[in-house]
Structure 1
């Protein structure tokens, strides 16, 4: 059995994680942007490791994220209580309907549109990162970029602290493999009207390297 698999979207995130690692048994793999590619690539990595007789012990989705204003600040570290597919569902005259309201499971395991973090893994990360904000992390296919969409998303998910694009896909792959899962993010920008001038990528990557010490 091998150690932890940490999945990021892009190489820059993987490099930031590796810069802070102290455990040589942790594998870090950039797999691409979006829940579909992240889920497919994670499932492949897990299947290959299992076939080789060296299965992973747990999976973490890691990277940078947008943070909800007044819930987290730029540069903060976030740990997900659960990873939610925020736009997987249907529109209706009364508003957005998640899969559960439609009576459809996301997969044959009945995972649904939200995957909780493994309690033991989350507790270990919380202990190692006591300053981290703990809350729901949303997975979206289209990153929020207007005041109206931000307000709607915040109202629909009052316990959400951040949004990213891969966590739910990685979580479903881990659930299919029967492995513990967690999501760790650092905040690079406030969620809201798209303003690249407000993004602080350097600070977010530095925070990600600092948080990576907990990945062991």
Structure 2
């Protein structure tokens, strides 16, 4: 029997958008909570109570200007915990630089290739995971400089990747707003949810 694909989102609205486009016979979609800790715990619970062929962290995201415009779809090549580390007088040190582990988890290469083939208009690149969404130009510029391959920021990917362990993992996001000063009125949530539903239609094609 072919195992289903597990797709986890942060909130119910994202899960509904994925379900609207995904194959319900082969794709299980569940919201697991906001932030890397909730995402890791929720994903681990699902993996402990069911069998799946792969895990995808999906939802909406902020896109880095000049890299992933609003309305676009991105495929994460790596999920990076961009605020996991320590502040110092000389700047931020990642957990890698501190010698306490890694802040970078790569997506499964085969799964990424299949997603790129199924979604040829999607933008591949790194997705940074943050516990605090960027709301200033200064933070956006620092992140863009620190992670030159990053195309988007979200809040769950790294946590889902940790929980996935040896199971194939990837991150799929649609961009609702630019990374930078917080302007909720300018967010295009409806467009991002619609793009998420469209992209989700390709998930089983990529993984089945």
Same fold (TM over 0.5): yes
Matched residue, 1:89: 85
- Number of matched residues? 203
**In the aligned structure 2, how far is the partner of 1:210 from the partner of 1:3?**
19
Matching of residues 144-163 of structure 1 within 5 Å: 144-163=134-153
TM-score (norm 2): 0.96
- 8 Å CA contact 1:42–1:170 kept in 2: the answer is yes
2:31 paired with 1:30? yes
**In the aligned structure 2, how far is the partner of 1:174 from the partner of 1:101?**
24
Matched residue, 2:184: 196
- Give unpaired runs (5+ residues) of structure 1: 50-54, 106-111
User: SS at 2:201's partner residue?
Assistant: helix
CA shift for structure 1 position 23: 5.2
2:117 paired with 1:127? yes
Matched residue, 1:108: none
2:193 paired with 1:205? yes
**In the aligned structure 1, how far is the partner of 2:146 from the partner of 2:188?**
27
CA RMSD, Structure 1 to Structure 2 (Å) = 0.9
CA shift for structure 1 position 215: 1.0
2:74 paired with 1:78? yes
TM-score (norm 1): 0.92
User: SS at 2:26's partner residue?
Assistant: coil
Matching of residues 98-113 of structure 1 within 5 Å: 98-105=94-101, 112-113=102-103
Matched residue, 2:107: 117
2:202 paired with 1:214? yes
- 8 Å CA contact 1:83–1:139 kept in 2: the answer is yes
- Give unpaired runs (5+ residues) of structure 2: none
CA shift for structure 1 position 72: 1.0
Alignment deviations for residues 111-169 of structure 1 (CA, whole Å, 9 cap, x no partner): x1111000010000000000000000000000000011111111111111100000000
**In the aligned structure 1, how far is the partner of 2:163 from the partner of 2:58?**
15
Matched residue, 2:60: 64
CA shift for structure 1 position 211: 0.1
